[in-house]
Amino acid sequence: MTEDGMILVDKPAGITSFGVVARVRRQLTQQLGKRAKVGHTGTLDPFATGLMIIVTGKECRNAGNYSKLDKEYEATITLGYNSTTGDPEGELTPVSDLQPTKAAVEAALQYFTGEITQRPPIFSAIKINGRRAYDLARKGEVVEMPERQVTVFALELIDYTYPEIKIRVHVSSGTYIRTLAEDIGKVLQTGAYCSQLRRTKVGEWSVVGATAVQV
């Protein structure tokens, strides 16, 4: 670890992004003998794993440049249920036991390739009138999330064994894979949520060789 630079971290499931930052800060502070300045360039949900770019010292001023980069993910979408959070941490509600054909799944994925409109999940870090959306949602307040235009550059079906769809996706910054999973479930009329998520690339940087963080 260096006082001014970037660190590629492979985040495990079960820890928040802020938890990762805190651990890196603690280790770097011990190494330098003084409090280290550490920041992140984009969060990952607690259930998600994969690449986080951590910036330290003077490089923190460039955090926004990293956050604007394209991202690549591998995700598992589970059909048949909706989740209040769009992921396995929310309350699951059964929707349908309909089992779409592989052709129907492939057609649905094609529908979400290119420039699309998304409404981000209410359980997200987006600020609404200066407050985090997830804080408002947890307090039971009504949250109206504005739609946004995002780009899905590539969406590949890795495997489909009902009820799980496994995909590889390359998206623009600001794209929510949880929302993509839910929208695919709507098109298939089955309901769906993102049950597993791994970020494999941010811009030119890959999770391959990134430093693992222990939970």
Burial 154-165 (b: 16+ CB within 10 A, else e): ebeeeebebbeb
Parallel/antiparallel/unpaired status of strands 192-202 and 49-56: parallel
One of 10, 45, 87, 183 is an active-site residue; which one? 45
Crossing angle of helices 177-188 and 102-111, rounded to 10°: 130
Give, for 201, the enclosing helix (H) or strand (E): strand 192-202
Closest CA to 163 of 141, 136, 196: 196
Q: Which residues, other chains included, contact 2 with Cβ-Cβ below 8 Å and sequence gap of 6+? A: 56, 57
Contact 7, 211 (CB under 8 A): yes
Q: Cα–Cα distance between 156 and 133 in angstroms, integer?
A: 30
Our answer to whether residue 135 is catalytic in this structure is no
Which positions are catalytic? 45
